[in-house]
């Protein structure tokens, strides 16, 4: 029998908490059987890996694996999707169609969000579970299929049964074995390692140095409630990886990415962000705005490097620009800060113009920023305008102060004022 550790490796599952290990162990145990399994757990806990493990470890692994999101299929078409239909069964049924239960004969069907199934479909499903029989929509012919069903839900099924939204007999038939994935707040030992894994994945994806949390940020990360579980943790790791210039993340910085309210434990001291911009959204736009300015600076620097080829000369000629991008007190070690990324380090080391060109295409490193820019051009534009207006108001029209606050030169601000007709 494959070990829990090798299953984790095979399916990209991170963590070593008892709750997670128990769920994987149960999946391994039930996989050789045809027992129906119900995977339960809050949204974002990782339920989708369980049916994949069960299918891959079963004798059905060479058969089809079909995942159906029951909540995403309209009520009017779900029977036809699952069980197929005959030609002429309803308007638009121009040909006979095979449903998932026919297609997956000999394989596994994962019914995600099973609690969302309409009651009429539940009756059909009960029949397949009991004797492998189903009937296409608009047909009277009983067909047979051999499908293993793994279902998942993030709603309380007992509530759904009480409200008569879910059939009790079907619930018991589906949940012969219940595999529960505990919420992330009950798997505290997994939180930091998951964050580190996501941070390293995003560093690779966006070609940036990996973010690292300070000790107090780690404490905050672990204490946080994570009501969106691993999905939320992943999103936060991605946002920070993309937006933070300083790759060492302090607790207040991390805090600014965590939605407040019931999610935050009471012990957290909500130190106010240094920014003058009050709402989180504004802070986010400010960061994007800063990034856009940096991107332009980096493009300029790259052009210089491409044209000149001599790194030392370019560094000397662009000292102010380099300081602006990489921070005030790091003029001599600006690239060292990123020394764990060999590609970026090569900027300072490589003096061969050709290779320099290949390895220092900084604008390419930040290509994601352009994607963001493209997708959000409209709103960013509006936000930029709003930020400039607010800053000018705050400083009673004094351009120098507003430009300092916005992190742009007075000339750029002047250009923007003209451009936006302020």
Ligand X SMILES: Nc1ncnc2c1ncn2[C@@H]1O[C@H](COP(=O)(O)OP(=O)(O)OP(=O)(O)O)[C@@H](O)[C@H]1O
Give the footprint of ligand X on this chain (CB under 6 A): 12-15, 41, 43-49, 154, 194, 230-231, 234
Cα distance between residue 190 and residue 225, in whole Å: 13
What is the enclosing helix (H) or strand (E) of 133?
Answer: strand 133-135
Task: Confirm if 23 and 50 have CB atoms less than 8 A apart.
Answer: yes
Cα distance between residue 29 and residue 37, in whole Å: 11
Sign of CA dihedral 358, 362, 363, 368: positive
Beta strands in 5-121 (DSSP E): 37-40, 65-69, 84-85, 97-98, 108-112
Which has the closest alpha carbon to 50: 75, 79, 13, 92? Answer: 13
Measured from the CB atom, is 53 or 413 closer to ligand X? Answer: 53
Cα distance between residue 391 and residue 70, in whole Å: 49
Smallest separation, CB 41 to Mg ion (Å): 9
Smallest separation, CB 175 to Mg ion (Å): 17
Task: Confirm if 122 and 167 have CB atoms less than 8 A apart.
Answer: yes
User: For residue 19, what are its two tokens?
Assistant: 């709750």
Smallest separation, CB 31 to ligand X (Å): 18
| Region from 48-56, 141-149, 266-274, 370-378 binding Mg ion, contact rule CB under 5 A | 48-56
Measured from the CB atom, is 11 or 357 closer to ligand X? Answer: 11
Task: Confirm if 4 and 21 have CB atoms less than 8 A apart.
Answer: yes
Smallest separation, CB 21 to ligand X (Å): 11
Smallest separation, CB 335 to ligand X (Å): 32
Cα distance between residue 344 and residue 350, in whole Å: 10
Measured from the CB atom, is 230 or 301 closer to ligand X? Answer: 230
| Region from 28-36, 47-55, 132-140, 236-244 binding Mg ion, contact rule CB under 5 A | 47-55
Smallest separation, CB 191 to ligand X (Å): 11
Cα distance between residue 349 and residue 185, in whole Å: 45
Measured from the CB atom, is 41 or 182 closer to ligand X? Answer: 41
| Region from 43-51, 60-68, 250-258, 358-366 binding Mg ion, contact rule CB under 5 A | 43-51
Measured from the CB atom, is 173 or 231 closer to ligand X? Answer: 231
Instruction: Looking at residues 331 to 360 of the shown chain, list those that interact with Mg ion (rule: CB under 5 A).
Output: none
Which residue has its beta carbon closest to Mg ion?
Answer: 48
Smallest separation, CB 39 to ligand X (Å): 8
Which residue has its beta carbon closest to ligand X?
Answer: 46
Task: Confirm if 294 and 372 have CB atoms less than 8 A apart.
Answer: no
Measured from the CB atom, is 48 or 186 closer to Mg ion? Answer: 48
Task: Classify 97 as helix, strand or coil.
Answer: strand
Measured from the CB atom, is 238 or 343 closer to ligand X? Answer: 238
| Contacting positions for Mg ion (CB under 5 A) | 48
């Amino acid at each position: 029998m494959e070990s829990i550790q090798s299953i984790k490796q095979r399916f990209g599952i991170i963590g070593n908490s008892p709750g997670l290990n128990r769920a994987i162990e149960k999946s391994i145990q039930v996989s050789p059987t045809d027992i129906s399994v119900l995977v339960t757990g809050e949204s974002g806990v990782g339920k989708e890996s369980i049916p994949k493990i069960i299918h891959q470890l079963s004798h059905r692994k060479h058969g089809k694996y079909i995942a159906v999101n029951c909540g995403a299929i309209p009520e009017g078409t779900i029977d036809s999707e699952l069980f197929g239909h005959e030609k002429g069964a309803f308007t638009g049924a121009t040909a006979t169609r095979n449903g998932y239960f026919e297609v997956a004969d000999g394989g596994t069907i994962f019914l995600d969000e099973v609690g969302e199934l309409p009651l009429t479909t539940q009756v059909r499903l009960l029949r397949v579970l009991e004797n492998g029989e189903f009937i296409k929509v608009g047909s009277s012919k009983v067909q047979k299929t051999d499908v293993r069903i793994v279902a998942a839900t993030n709603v309380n099924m007992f509530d759904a049964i009480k409200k008569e939204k879910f059939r009790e007999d079907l619930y018991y038939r589906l949940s012969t074995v219940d595999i529960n994935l505990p919420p992330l707040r009950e798997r505290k030992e997994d939180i930091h390692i998951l964050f580190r894994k996501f941070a390293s994945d995003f560093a690779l994806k966006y070609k940036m140095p990996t973010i690292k949390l300070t000790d107090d940020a780690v404490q905050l990360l672990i204490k946080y409630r994570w009501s969106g579980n691993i999905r939320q943790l992943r999103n936060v790791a991605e946002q920070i990886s993309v937006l933070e210039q300083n790759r060492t993340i302090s607790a207040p910085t991390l805090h600014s990415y965590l939605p407040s309210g019931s999610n935050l434990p009471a012990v957290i001291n909500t130190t106010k962000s240094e920014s003058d911009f009050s709402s989180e959204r504004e802070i986010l736009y400010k960061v994007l705005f800063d990034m856009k300015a940096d991107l332009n600076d980096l493009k300029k620097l790259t052009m210089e490097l491409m044209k000149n080829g001599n790194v030392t000369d370019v560094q000397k000629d662009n000292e102010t620009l380099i300081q602006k991008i990489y921070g005030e007190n790091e003029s001599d070690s600006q690239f060292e800060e990123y020394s764990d990324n060999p590609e970026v380090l090569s900027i300072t080391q490589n003096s061969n113009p050709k290779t320099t060109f290949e390895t220092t295409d900084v604008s390419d490193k930040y290509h994601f920023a352009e994607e963001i820019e493209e997708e959000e051009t409209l709103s960013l534009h509006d936000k930029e305008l709003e930020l400039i207006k607010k800053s000018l108001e705050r400083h009673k029209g004094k351009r120098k102060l507003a430009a300092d606050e916005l992190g742009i030169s007075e000339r750029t601000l002047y250009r923007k004022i003209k451009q936006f007709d302020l």
